[in-house]
């Protein structure tokens, strides 16, 4: 415990050669200024560009960066699970590589984690959320429809399950992530469903957020897949896979 990092930062990455260096430089500059021990675990999800080369070069310079690699493209959920189960920090945050939610927003989470919450998640849908750059209207509309379906079929009381900025206490990670079955975009809902089944406390916190126009999420095909995954969560639960 004495040598354990306070924070582990998990970043799934797929073909991120054009922005991962800028993001990591920003993250490291910020965390070095905070003064607490940390580690950064990047999971390359079978990139076909020079992402691995860029990350390896950075890890030679910054020893707190660790690279894990998937042999081929497995999905964001698979990559996050791999990173979370490889982490060492007292608090473990996963964040998107585009830093749509700035790393500075983690400071809002610590007080909630210290006062008894097991999981703290960023939200773009609360009254005090600060969405600086919005998604195109059709993405926002489909996101709102998906959130309604989530509340109807799975998780009640959470307005935004899909913001890629979520932090977990070390001790709850095994009970959640060893039961995760969804490898792609529906994994966020599954994690929160498992946490609810385990009686864990989750806090939704408003964060600043910037849409990245280079997002790879297809609102139609990925939306259909996520709906299927919502149904899969309910079926998994009926089959006892989350016990």
Token duo for residue 132: 């600086």
Pairing of strands 119-123, 38-44: unpaired
The pTM assigned to this predicted structure is 0.91
Least Cα distance to 205 among 127, 94, 103, 148 occurs for: 127
Give the mean model confidence (pLDDT) for residues 13-42: 96
Token duo for residue 50: 């020079």
CATH number of 7-238: 3.90.550.10
pLDDT digits (tens, 9 = 90+) for 111-140: 999 999 999 999 999 999 998 876 666 666
Average pLDDT value for the chain: 90
Least Cα distance to 6 among 82, 109, 121, 116 occurs for: 109
What letter would DSSP give residue 100? S
Residue 121 β-bridge partners: 166, 204
C-alpha span between 212 and 209 (Å, rounded): 10
C-alpha span between 98 and 76 (Å, rounded): 13
pLDDT-derived band at 3 (thresholds 50, 70, 90) equals: confident
CB 41 within 8 A of CB 10: yes
pLDDT digits (tens, 9 = 90+) for 212-221: 766 666 655 6
pLDDT-derived band at 225 (thresholds 50, 70, 90) equals: confident
Residue 69 has a pLDDT of 98
CB 203 within 8 A of CB 126: no
H-helix segments, the chain? 20-34, 51-61, 76-85, 107-114, 137-153, 173-177, 187-197, 221-238
138 CB-near residues (< 8 Å, 6+ apart): 219
Taking the domains of the chain in order of start, what are their residue ranges? 7-238
Q: Is the pLDDT of residue 89 over 80?
A: yes
């Amino acid at each position: 415990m004495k040598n354990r990092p306070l924070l582990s930062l998990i970043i799934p990455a797929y073909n991120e050669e054009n922005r991962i260096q800028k993001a990591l430089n920003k993250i490291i500059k910020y965390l070095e200024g905070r003064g607490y021990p940390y580690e950064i675990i990047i999971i390359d999800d079978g990139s076909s560009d020079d992402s691995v080369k860029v990350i390896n070069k950075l890890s030679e310079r910054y020893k707190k960066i660790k690279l894990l690699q998937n042999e081929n493209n497995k999905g964001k959920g698979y990559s996050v699970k791999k990173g979370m189960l490889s982490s060492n920090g007292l608090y473990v945050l996963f964040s998107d590589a585009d830093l749509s939610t700035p790393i500075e927003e983690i400071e809002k989470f610590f007080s909630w984690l210290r006062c008894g919450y097991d999981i703290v998640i960023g939200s773009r849908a609360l009254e005090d959320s600060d969405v600086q750059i919005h998604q195109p209207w059709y993405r926002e509309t489909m996101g709102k429809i998906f959130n309604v379906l989530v509340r109807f079929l799975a998780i009640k009381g959470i307005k935004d399950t899909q913001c890629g900025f979520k932090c977990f206490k070390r001790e709850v990670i095994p009970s959640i992530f060893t039961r995760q079955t969804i490898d792609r975009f529906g994994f966020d809902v599954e994690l929160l469903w498992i946490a609810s089944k385990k009686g864990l406390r989750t806090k939704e916190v408003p964060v600043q957020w910037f849409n990245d126009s280079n997002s790879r999420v297809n609102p139609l095909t990925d939306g259909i897949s996520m709906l299927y995954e919502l149904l899969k969560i309910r079926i998994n639960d009926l089959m006892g896979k989350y016990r």
